[in-house]
Amino acid sequence: MTTTDLPASLISTLPGHYYTDPAVFSLEQARIFETMWFCAVRSADLPTPGKFRKVQVGRESVLVVRSRDGELRAFLNICRHRGAQICTEDSGEVRRAFQCPYHAWTYDLEGKLIAAPNLTKMPDIDRVRYGLVPVHLREWLGYAWVSLAEEPPSFEHEVMGTITDRLGDLESIDHYELDSLTVGRRITYDVKANWKLIIENFMECYHCATIHPELTEVLPEFADGYAAQFYVGHGAEFGEDVQGFTVDGSEGFDKLPGIDEDQDRRYYAITVRPTVFVNLVPDHVIFHRMFPVSADRTIVECDWLYTREVVESGKDVSRSVELFHRVNEQDFEACERTQPAMSSRAYVNGGVLVPSEHHIGEFHDWLRQRLSH
């Protein structure tokens, strides 16, 4: 069946090879992950100078580090001498400098080359030019976002603008004060599915009545199949008997200080391309970051963010964590169930989207446009 054969209610998805072909994934790395703003790390995870985290952005290994002046900086994780990786561990702390374990070229936390065997006998070496290669970094919502592009795209347009497009204005997300919140729980999921299947799943709620009984109990409108993201500024309303965004609908915590009356008892979901999901509820925020590994594998790191008072007092966050943890497991199982079929002859021309999923077609158009440049 071709797109011209479809009834008006249906539009086509991407063909199956977009989810399985390593060549497509390589294009995505080069033209999406390595050119856009990529959310790398929670800023508070690197509280003191020398704390670092290694993240994979497209085909590049990137070090994000707290420098001596208290600022976050990012560099390619590559020694300028012979190309060895500076750090192989995912995270850690150095006292004052990074040292390549191969030939001991040493770089300070601002990336400058400060020492190497016989370096004093090579006075013509520019220690800044032969320092670590810097990566553009912006902090927003309490996270460090990096861009590998030589000239990064407008952060205001590509990241902040996405929030505005979804909520209707930028001020609405400021009410949640994400940068002041604290990670109450972090769960990392290893999902055996293409990153786009996860994006598409998050964008629609046609599946919600089928696989999310706990979520539709809390947010009854989701049982009708229309995701909150379908409407600008719309937040899904809690059910009448629901007290909080918890696995059993029981009471959560005091609402975040900046939440206004219109945002109370509502859930907002936002997709920030390419790899971030933001979920806003009155007393906490759930923040997903995806790290695509291959055409059929994606690491998803999910943070549950609460006020500092909730976390430091040791209050039990398990009921609110459990709700979206179940949603995650249900969603990722569905994506893993779908991934093998992407290489089937039945999906060579793709599948179809029903009316409540038609907005996913815009995501597919965006993806094709990015890959064609």
* 266-285 confidence digits (pLDDT tens): 999 999 999 999 999 999 99
Contact 359, 232 (CB under 8 A): no
Average pLDDT, stretch 198-210?
94
What are the tens digits of pLDDT across the range 151-195? 999 999 999 999 999 999 999 999 999 999 999 999 999 999 999
Which tokens is 185 given?
A: 């729980």
Is residue 4 scored above 80 in pLDDT?
no
Q: Any idea which residue has 């690491």 for tokens?
A: 299
Average pLDDT, the chain: 95
E strands present in the chain: 11-12, 38-42, 51-57, 60-66, 72-76, 91-93, 97-99, 106-108, 113-115, 134-140, 143-147, 182-191, 236-237, 266-272, 276-281, 284-294, 297-306, 352-353
**What residues does CATH 2.102.10.10 cover in the chain?**
37-147
Rounded Cα–Cα distance for residues 171 and 138 (Å): 19
Torsion over CA: 46, 49, 51, 52 (sign)? positive
Alpha-carbon dihedral of residues 144, 149, 151, 155, nearest 10 degrees?
-40
CATH architecture of 37-147: 3-layer Sandwich (2.102)
pLDDT of residue 1: 44
Average pLDDT, stretch 31-36?
98
How many Cα atoms are found within 13 Å in the side-chain-facing hemisphere of 330?
18
Q: What percent of the chain has pLDDT over 70?
A: 98
Alpha-carbon dihedral of residues 166, 170, 172, 173, nearest 10 degrees?
90
Q: At a CB cut-off of 8 Å and minimum separation 6, what does 3 contact?
A: 11, 12
Is residue 228 scored above 70 in pLDDT?
no
Rounded Cα–Cα distance for residues 312 and 226 (Å): 37
pLDDT of residue 360: 93
pLDDT of residue 226: 77
Average pLDDT, stretch 195-204?
96
Out of 39-53, 330-344, 349-363, least confident range: 349-363
Radius of gyration of the chain (CA): 22
**What residues does CATH 3.90.380.10 cover in the chain?**
155-372
CA 312 to chain centre: 26
Average pLDDT, stretch 209-235?
87
What are the tens digits of pLDDT across the range 56-75? 999 999 999 999 999 999 99
Out of 24-38, 216-230, 304-318, 322-336, least confident range: 216-230
Rounded Cα–Cα distance for residues 189 and 332 (Å): 9
pLDDT of residue 113: 97
Fold for the domain defined by 155-372:
Naphthalene 1,2-dioxygenase Alpha Subunit; Chain A, domain 1 (3.90.380)
Average pLDDT, stretch 346-362?
94
Is residue 289 scored above 50 in pLDDT?
yes
173: β partners: none
CA 184 to chain centre: 18
Contact 176, 278 (CB under 8 A): no
Is residue 109 scored above 50 in pLDDT?
yes
